[in-house]
Amino acid sequence: MALIISIFHLKFKTYDITFFVCIWRYAKMRPSPHSNIRNSLATMSARKVQKVMVQPINLIFRYLQNRTRIQIWLYEDVTHRIEGYIIGFDEYMNVVLDEAEELNMKTQNRNKLGRILLKGDNITMIHAVPV
């Protein structure tokens, strides 16, 4: 049994996003009596390297479970962003946000919106707001 931790780092404009993916993996770690040590070590190292794809729905669900404040970049609108807490979503990435605020990126003014439904067609990117 081995714990494999993969770290994915994404840099987008001024934001750094890091994903940690942990999985448990069961693998035979002892060499076969009919193979040499070099082949055994190559096989073991090949088994340890495994990348796991993070599904977007899982990340959104994690934001919902942890009540993480998120910021949403809007499609074809670079001057406004929406911040809030995800309290619901569906397979079309329609998102229900609580304590939502509209953020004007030019003036840094915030407009309180309350509880809103944001259609998935308007979403370009979702990320956690740095604390």
Do residues 19 and 5 touch, judged by C-beta distance below 8 A? no
Percent helix / strand / coil, the chain, rounded to 5:
20, 50, 30
DSSP state of 30: S
pLDDT score, position 84: 98
pLDDT in tens, 21-40: 544 454 444 544 544 555 55
- CA distance readout (Å), 38 to 25, 29, 41: 22, 13, 5
Q: What is the dihedral of CA 16, 89, 118, 111, to 10 degrees?
A: -60
Q: Name the pTM for this structure.
A: 0.61
Nearest by Cα to 3 from 53, 58, 50 = 50
Residue given tokens 């990348």 in the structure block:
51
Positive or negative, the Cα torsion across 108, 109, 114, 118?
Answer: negative
* Domains defined for the chain, CATH in brackets: 2-54 (no CATH), 57-128 (2.30.30.100)
What does the pLDDT read at residue 75? 96
Average pLDDT, 10 consecutive residues per value, the chain (131 residues): 52 55 48 51 56 90 97 96 97 97 97 97 96 80
Q: What is the pLDDT of residue 108?
A: 95
